[in-house]
Structure 1
Amino acid sequence: MPTVDVYSALANPVRRGLLEGLIDGPRPAGELAGAFSLSRPAVSEHLAVLKRAGLVHEEPRGRHRYYHLRPEPLAEVGDWLHPFEHYWRARMGALRDVLDEISDSDSDSDKADSGAS
């Protein structure tokens, strides 16, 4: 089975959702599948992609397969995203300033309206 790079694995929202479902600890495949409106085989395929990317590992327990999150490969993504953090902080700061300005403008307008009554 060929390996899958972490970025390709994370490109799909279902796979990101599966990883989020494993944040609090290992879960059986059936429980993970129940969180999606997909067939179990479709969810199994997504889990296989995550497994090939090294983001999860599978533990057989009797008839069930439990999946565990392997967060180490996500560090690569974090390292790659780090330089962009400054950009997004600046953008969010600019958005906050605009929203504060709009809020202040609305407050001034409300005060003027209540004074005219």
Structure 2
Amino acid sequence: MADIFDVIADRTRRDILQLLLERSRSTAKGTSVSHIVQSLGVSQPTVSKHLKVLRDAGLVSVREEGQHRYYSLQSSPLDEVDDWLMGFFPMDEPVPIALPEPAVHAAEAVGRAAASAKHVVASALRKLPGR
């Protein structure tokens, strides 16, 4: 399996993931290849090539319905990216050294989750009209 960072390094694959994320909010059945082609303005063979890479990395799942294929985002492989990125964001409150080791790990996990939630909210707010 390709390194997740190599997979998301490609702009077209990131565009496909973004489209699938946006579509996941409005449809539970997935997004067809033809919709991806139309939305991104790239050729069907190009989209299919990138979807294979994303599928092999576990970032998308596919559901076949007759001759049609519907793709859905599977975000759990991005946890590795999220964990790595969170190390670059300072925690607002340092964890006291007196905490036992499991509590330190729990506090770090809570801090990462809070930073991740903050990032999601900030991204959503930037997309609001008038921003």
Q: Deviations over 1:18-74 (max 9, x none)?
A: 001111322011101112232100110011110111100111011110001111001
Structure with more of its chain in helix, by fraction: 1
Task: Find the aligned partners of 1:62 and 1:53 in 2 and give their Cα distance.
Answer: 25
Task: Find the aligned partners of 1:19 and 1:38 in 2 and give their Cα distance.
Answer: 14
Under a length normalisation based on structure 2, what TM-score does the superposition of the two structures give? 0.61
What amino acid sits opposite 2:19 in the alignment? G
Aligned equivalent of 1:20? 18
Aligned equivalent of 2:55? 51
1:41 aligns with 2:45: yes
Q: What is the RMSD of the two structures over their aligned residues, measured on CA atoms?
A: 1.8
Under a length normalisation based on structure 1, what TM-score does the superposition of the two structures give? 0.68
1:85 aligns with 2:89: yes
SS in 1 for 2:58: coil
Where structure 1 has 5 or more consecutive residues not aligned to the other structure, the ranges are 87-117
Moved over 4 A (4+): none
Task: Find the aligned partners of 1:33 and 1:5 in 2 and give their Cα distance.
Answer: 25
| Shift of residue 76, structure 1, vs aligned partner | 0.8
> Considering only CA atoms, is the larger Rg found in Structure 1 or Structure 2?
1
Task: Find the aligned partners of 2:67 and 2:89 in 1 and give their Cα distance.
Answer: 44
User: RCO (CA 8 Å, sep 6+): is it higher in 1 or 2?
Assistant: 1
1:65 aligns with 2:69: yes
How many aligned positions are there?
86
Task: Find the aligned partners of 1:72 and 1:84 in 2 and give their Cα distance.
Answer: 20
